[in-house]
Structure 1
Amino acid sequence: MLHSAYQAHIRNNISSLSLFGDRPIDQTFLRTAIESLDREIARLNIMLDWTRAKAREVSHP
């Protein structure tokens, strides 16, 4: 999961944006955006762990 400090930073940045004039972004959109970023970070962490494990296998046969 995305660190809470990053979540707050992203939430503040996204909330400061507006769509369709002065209307603030819907909170559902904000939650969905943060959840999507969390999933992407988790996916990248898994790929990084896999890559590190493969690199260890190659360097220490």
Structure 2
Amino acid sequence: MLIFFNVLEENKTINTSLCNELKEKAGFRNVLAHEYANIINEKVYKHLQELEVFEKFAKTISEKFL
């Protein structure tokens, strides 16, 4: 998944800032999926407060391709 965001950035579909934010969220998804025994509630809460990154991604993609 992380490579996908790098490809979008390299092709100027998304900017570097958005790429980094999305990679952070994808990395956290991996923690949730594979290391659920070690999840820290504060980190989950932090990521839940930053979901607007997905709105930015959807808006960017729709502006580029729709």
Q: Given the two structures, how large is their TM-score scaled by the length of structure 1?
A: 0.44
| More relative contact order, 1 or 2 (CA 8 Å, 6+ apart) | 2
Larger Rg: 1
